[in-house]
Chains A and B, each alone.
Chain A
Amino acid sequence: MGRSYFSTFELLLLALLATLVVAGNVALRLPLKVPGHSGLVWMALLVVARGVVPKLGAAATVGLLSGLLAAFVGVGDKGGLDTLVSYTAAGAAVDLVAACAPANVLTSALAGLAGNSAKLGVKVLLELWIGIPTGFLVLGRTFPALTHAVFGLAGGYLGYLVLEALRRAGFFVYLAGRR
């Protein structure tokens, strides 16, 4: 087998982070009564995934794998396609933003914002595709768009805090010996 882009360890780490995304969405529901609040832990994990495996595609891989897992266990109320595409889009958006600038608190927060907004964007696109009038969508999705942006920013910031905590704890030295 030739040398691949991600090592087996990196892929398995990304896969287990994808598992944490799905388990977190089910088991760790913060009691916030606001749409998009699941993005707090979700986007943090995507930003962390991009931080611990600093390669383009790391967060998208977590998004794809978590989307598949979520579709299998039946997470999400609008079916497998919506779940798979929205999870993947969130990961891809985090990846794209993280690839544009060096990792810092602002980039991490913006990556979270992009990820959570991409998740909502996919839902809106699917709703447009099935023919829901644009006016209804504007009416129904304006407040969620705002809260998704805020929780995305917060999730990205949390991801940055977690990465810093991991760095202080020597986690990256531990990882360096295992790539």
Chain B
Amino acid sequence: MPPGGLGQSIAPDSFLRRVDPRTKIALSLAASAAVGIPLRPLAFFGACFVGLLAGAGLARQAAAQLWRARLWFAVLFLLDWTFVGVDFAVLITLRLALLAAAFILVFATTTPDELRVAGERLGLPPRLAFAFATAFRSLALLEREWQGILEAQKARDIVGMQSLEKPHWWLRRDDFTSAAALVVPAIVLAAQRAWSISEAAAARGFESPLRRSYRTLRLGALDHVLLVATVVVLGGSILLR
């Protein structure tokens, strides 16, 4: 990932972009709850879930998510197969895959601003929701700033900076000095930025008691269909567990 390249990988054309974030959270939680069901119904549910991911244009994100855990999947599958049996190995692998992919429905199709509004509707304090949205917007910037600090410390030949580059197996004294030399300026920069943003927010009436959100959420027909599916999945998970 290039410096400052941190950001969300969103699927802009997915039909789930039109769905209320609260519905997607409920659906993802229901999918996570389904990991407790036995192999056959789980395989059926897994196939439906894959269909939903493919239909929503999220297959690439799901594949990338599962690929990151490939070593973990492979080792666990082999262990389960060797010591318990192939059915059990398939069951555990399916459960892990479902758990790893369930929240892609939310995080690959919802912008932080949409999640902020949904959070407020679900009772999250508006300040906390605002703080989250600010944090997300600052991600690439702070990553670049941190890279900048790293480059500056290298240029000044700060003692121990080489310990950040050479692979080794254990903590050395240089690791502490290198890490402290990075963390202290990063925190000072973060505090200065936090102060600027809080001043700007106050100047725009963020603390006003009359403040109202300009964006509202409303459940549509698609939301109701997906909420019914959520209830079915949850009910099935409880009955089949």
Contact = CB atoms under 8 A, between A and B. Distances in A.
Interface of A: 1, 4, 6-9, 11-20, 22-24, 26-28, 30-34, 40-41, 44-45, 48, 52, 61, 65, 68-69, 71-74, 77-82, 84, 126, 129-133, 136, 150-151, 154, 157-158, 161-162, 165-166, 169, 171, 174-175, 178
A79 B67 CA distance: 11
A52 B195 CA distance: 14
A73 B6 contact: yes
Contact of A27 (B3, B91, B112, B180): B3
A163 to B, nearest CB: 9
Interface of B: 1, 3, 6-9, 28, 32, 35-36, 61, 64-65, 68-69, 72, 76, 79-80, 83-84, 91-92, 95-96, 99-104, 106-107, 112, 115, 125, 127-128, 130-132, 134-136, 138-139, 142-143, 146-147, 150, 163-171, 175-176, 179-180, 182-184, 186-188, 190-191, 193-195, 197-198, 201-202, 206-209, 211
Most chain B C-beta atoms within 10 Å of own C-beta, residue among A6, A15, A71: A15
B45 to A, nearest CB: 14
Contacts, number: 223
Contacts of B103: 71, 79-81, 84
Given A16-B135, A72-B112, A74-B64, A52 B6 contact: no
Classify the interface of chain B: helix, strand, loop or mixed: helix
Given A12-B134, A15-B131, A28-B150, 13 more contacts: A1-B209, A15-B134, A28-B164, A32-B171, A48-B187, A72-B8, A73-B6, A73-B9, A130-B92, A132-B76, A133-B84, A158-B176, A161-B180
A9 B132 CA distance: 13
Sort A-B residue pairs by CB-CB distance and give the 7 closest, nearest first: A80-B103, A79-B100, A15-B131, A15-B135, A16-B190, A12-B194, A23-B143
B180 A16 contact: no
B135 A9 contact: no
A126 B202 contact: no
10 contacts: A13-B190, A16-B138, A27-B146, A33-B168, A41-B183, A72-B112, A78-B99, A131-B95, A132-B92, A178-B195
A11 B99 contact: no
Contacts of B207: 1, 8
Contact of A17 (B169, B170, B190): B190
A109 to B, nearest CB: 12
Contacts of B138: 15-16, 19
B127 A52 contact: no
Nearest to B178: A30
Contact of B139 (A14, A22, A151, A165): A22
A74 to B, nearest CB: 6
B92 A158 contact: no
Contacts of B182: 28, 41
A157 B177 CA distance: 12
B100 to A, nearest CB: 4
A81 B102 contact: yes
Contact of B96 (A52, A73, A78): A78
Contact of B72 (A44, A74, A77): A77
Given A31-B165, A80-B102, A68 B132 contact: yes
